[in-house]
Structure formats: C-alpha cells, structure tokens
Amino acid sequence: MNMLITQEIGSFRKPAYLSSRFRTLRADEFIDVAGRATLETLELFEESGLMNLGVGGEMFRWEMYEHPVSRIDGIKIHGPVRSFDNRYYNKGSVVSDISRKSSFHREEVEFLKKTKKSNFKIPITGPYTLMDWSFNEHYRTREDLAYAFAGLVNEEIRELKSIWGDEVMQVQIDEPAATTHPSEMEIVKESINESVKGISGIEKHLHVCYSKDYDLLFDIVPSLDIDVYNLEFANRDDLNPGNERKGYEDVRKFSIVSNSISRKIELGLGVTDVHIDVIESPDLIADRINYALKFLEPTRIRINPDCGLRTRSREVGFGKLKNMAEAREKVLASI
C-alpha cells in the first residue's frame, strides 16, 4: 500500500541552455533541446528520491498562462504583467469565441510516453484561472468565459488521454486564482467539474496555492470531482522544528471535510517553501508531516513542495526534494 507518496507538482528551473534560447529555437530544435532538459530533470528527480515525477519540471512550457492561451484562437496577446517573484507573463484579451488551434501539451506528453518511465502527473492550467487572468472583451459574463475555457480544457485532457492509452493518467488542474474572488466560488466549482466531465481513466488533482482563505475551497470540496488536493502550507509556517506548526492548521479543516463525504479524497501536503532558498531540514519536514498525520491517515497524504520550483536554482530545488524524500523515510520508520 502506498503511503506518503512524494510528488512534484509543477515547474522546475530550466537549464541555461534551454532558458536562454527558449523563444528563439526553431520548432525542430525545440523538441530536442526541451527533451534533453526533461530527461536531465527526470534523472535529477529520481536521484532525489521523488516517487511521482510530474512532467519533468515543465521544460516544454515557459509559463502556465501564456503557454495555453498562445494556442487558443480568439485571444489577442498583449504585453507582460508581473506575477510572483518579479516574473512576468504576457496577458491576453478574449476578443471572440475561443477555440483550441492546437493542443497545449501534446508534444510534451508524446515525449514522456517515449521515455517508458511511469508515474507522471500532467499539470494543466485551470479554466477559472485562465478566465481571471484574461481581459474579457467578448463574452457576456465572467462565468460564460470560465465555462468556455472549461470546454477547451476538457478537450485537451481528452486528447492527452488518447495518447496516454489505457493506463490511468494523472491530471492536475492548476487554479492559483481559485479563491481570489469569494463571491465566485460557484463558478470555480462548476468550471473545474466541466473540465473533467465525462472523462474516464484519469486521477484528478487540483492545485491551489497561496490562498488567503482555504475555507472558501473547503466549502466546495464535497461538490468537486477531484481526487487529490495539492495545497500550500510551508510558506505560512515557521522554520523551527518542534513548534506548533501554525502554518498547517488548515489540515484539520481538510480532514473534517474529507471525513464528511463518502468517497476517498487525499491531501497533497506542501512541506517545502518554493519562495526561499533555505533548504528545510529533514527533521523540519518530518515535523510538518507528523503534524498532518494527527488528522489524516498516511494513505491519504501525499508530500510535495508548495508549488513549482522554477524560481529557485536547480541546486536548491534538488536539495528541497531530496530532504523531502529523506523526511518521508524518517516518518515511515516511526509509524
């Protein structure tokens, strides 16, 4: 029985030979260079002891918003706006009915299939975030636009599943904007559900990070068609082992919600802060895991960084993942 699965849930710093040429590589060169970076990152993940490899750190993508919208008709791309850590993405305006002009992630998934490795998880930017981060100059309401994006995400997952084949495919819907507008949680719920509606053979993850109020998310969990919730906790915690772990108080709330519904849902526990270069010790990470084990059994907890590690160096990212894996072994030895 798998307990405390360690997982990567997003991006990782690109090697300089890819990042410096990402926007200038010819199409035929890009597959080779991004593929090389993916293989190197997968090897690094495996060396760290990571059990679930994500997609090798999203080497085929520059940024989570710009990547899909650049492959959608009906969106006019503007200049850059700032996101976390002084990183930028090119924001777009929806100016007509939207439709996919090409798959968002087909090349990446086809490459992963060729590696013959297993235990990947495919992150896809969610419909609510795509809506919230776009200017709406066409659809009647924000709700209408969110549902239009949900239809495209559903199409994308179906296409990727056709490539993946009979094996269960892990899909992670990334929704960093999910709780930014409390009055729109019904839109969040319905658009996410529409994204995965009618698709069999997938394990459905949801990633929400840096929420000011997870209670908003927990209120809709019973109605969400999601199996695993990958959430951020370390960023709001302190760095001292043995403390009260105030940054993890929402784990108790999640356990109350999960115990109130009949189907099994799991928690992806953020145990390392992706916005600092401090490499948390295995003892500190084990302390965070053990706190969560007060409320959830080990088969319902997965262990991950708070978010993607692209803002940290590859060396720091590796250290965080390695200590995360060591902490898991420490905890398992004590239960």
**Measuring CA to CA, how many Å separate 211 from each of 193, 198, 216?**
20, 29, 9
In a domain, 158, yes or no: yes
In a domain, 120, yes or no: yes
The per-residue pLDDT for 118 is 84
CA distance 8 to 121: 8
For the chain, list residues with pLDDT below 50: 86
In a domain, 89, yes or no: no
> Whole-prediction pTM value?
0.96
In a domain, 200, yes or no: yes
What's the CATH code of the domain at 157?
A: 3.20.20.210
In a domain, 73, yes or no: no
Number of separate domains in the chain: 1
**Largest pairwise CA distance in the chain:** 57
In a domain, 133, yes or no: yes
In a domain, 71, yes or no: no
Helix ranges (H only) for the chain are 16-19, 27-48, 66-69, 106-115, 127-132, 142-164, 185-196, 214-220, 250-259, 282-292, 314-332
In a domain, 76, yes or no: no
Digit-coded pLDDT (tens) for 98-116 = 999 999 999 999 999 999 8
Parent domain of 236: 5-61+101-332
